[in-house]
Amino acid sequence: MDKKKLKKTTLAVHAGTRKDDAFGAINGPIYMTSNYRLPSDGTFIDWSGSNTNIYARNRNVNQMVLQERLCALSGAEDCVIFGSGVAALAGIFTTFLDSGDHVIVSEVCYSATNILLRKVFPKKYNIESSFVDTTDIEAVKKAIRPNTKLIHLESPGNPTTGLTDIAAVAEIAHKNNALVSVDATFGSPILVNPTLLGADLEIHSMTKYINGHGDSIGGCVLSTTENIDKLKELALVNYGGVLSPFNAWLVSRGLATLPLRMAQHSKTALKVAEFLEAAPEVRFVSYPGLNSHPQHELAKKTMGDQFSGMIAFDINGDQEVHQKFINALNLVTHAVSLGDIESLIIYYDQESDKLPYYPEIYRKGFFRFSVGLEDADDLIEDIQQAFKACGVKKK
């Protein structure tokens, strides 16, 4: 059977599977070993660990299974997994950037990305960054410098859900001899495949949708084998950003249901977003599946008919009203992270140091809402009773 013709729901279950268990187990074993027996028959040993099991920091069997499955879902040539999404990001920045280089970065980006490229890298490594609205292609063009080596995007962006035209940015970057990296965590490999749109490096925090059950952290980078080998040598082997075999096994287990979960997350989130858009208590709502979203047409073009489970919205009222709203929710948990089976919400208040970099509508504060797998009507009812409990004003 030609695996290239298999659908993602099938690949999520079967890609990377190894039927080499001595006892005939259907589920793959967890290879809890720190090192492996080396060949003594003169067989060539690849000490980088690219093709030989040597030491668990170089690679382990559970890591290999997960990497192959991620490649199958994303369409990328190769993959490397890390102990966290931040380790994956730091691995890219330290591997492909040198002192004196310049980076263009989405002004809306994950907190660790913001800190690394806005504070750490300029001071420690003489690497400058320009934070721009990458949803505006002209702004990206204007930010290009002779020493620009990387354009780093988030699409959809965390936490505002803005989308960037990855193909258009890739064309600009490659004309100027720069690489493009895309953090596609909000979409997962089911909905967003940056390398198929021209990006050089695709990043996911596997802690989120890929694992999906809130019980493991991890990160991955998908790219060409040439780029992945560079990342493995520096960031995995010599920086030690390895994911444990047990956590790789947990993520692989979660990945098997990823296509089904993303379909349900998307279906529920759209219904909740439509309710929020019509609610007089709501100041604004941003969800790529809504016609009102600034990049809705781009979302349809790049994500198809599913738009993930991430919503940004705000309600009328001061900070006390917002806190009362969060406290009144029963089914939705006030917590960081996203992409879990249960709904999670976090409030970006006016003291957040990132608000000045966001589009104006977000600068009064807002909620990032990760819609889980609960029934949409139940979530809406929970939100409605929280509106009443917090005393939010109707517009």
Reduce the secondary structure of the chain to three states and give it as a string.
CCHHHCCHHHHHHHCCCCCCCCCCCCCCCCCCCCECCCCCCCCCCCCCCCCCCCECCCCCHHHHHHHHHHHHHHCCCEEEEECCHHHHHHHHHHHHCCCCCEEEEECCCCHHHHHHHHHHHHHHHCCEEEEECCCCHHHHHHHCCCCEEEEEEECCCCCCCCCCCHHHHHHHHHHCCCEEEEECCCCHHHHCCHHHHCCCEEEEECCCCCCCCCCCCCEEEEECHHHHHHHHHHHHHHCCCCCCHHHHHHHHHHHCCHHHHHHHHHHHHHHHHHHHHHCCCEEEEECCCCCCCCCHHHHHHHHCCCCCCEEEEEECCCHHHHHHHHHHCCCCEECCCCCCCCCEEEEECCCCCCHHHCCHHHCCCEEEEECCCCCHHHHHHHHHHHHHHHCCCCC
More confident residue, 117 or 5: 117
Q: Which of 174-178, 367-371, 389-393 has the lowest mean pLDDT?
A: 389-393
Amino acid 40: pLDDT: 82
- Tell me the pLDDT band of 14, cut-offs 50, 70 and 90: confident
Amino acid 18: pLDDT: 66
Question: Is 258-390 CATH 3.30.9.10?
Answer: no
pLDDT, one tens digit per residue, over 196-244 is 999 999 999 999 999 999 999 999 999 999 999 999 999 998 999 999 9
Q: What pTM did the predictor assign?
A: 0.94
- Tell me the pLDDT band of 164, cut-offs 50, 70 and 90: very high
* Mean pLDDT for the stretch of residues 349-374: 91
pLDDT, one tens digit per residue, over 37-77 is 888 887 777 776 666 788 888 888 899 999 999 999 999 99
* Mean pLDDT for the stretch of residues 115-139: 96
The CATH topology of domain 3-255 is Aspartate Aminotransferase; domain 2 (3.40.640)
pLDDT, one tens digit per residue, over 245-281 is 999 999 999 999 999 999 999 999 999 999 999 999 9
Domain ranges of the chain: 3-255, 258-390
Average pLDDT of the chain, as a whole number: 94
Amino acid 50: pLDDT: 65
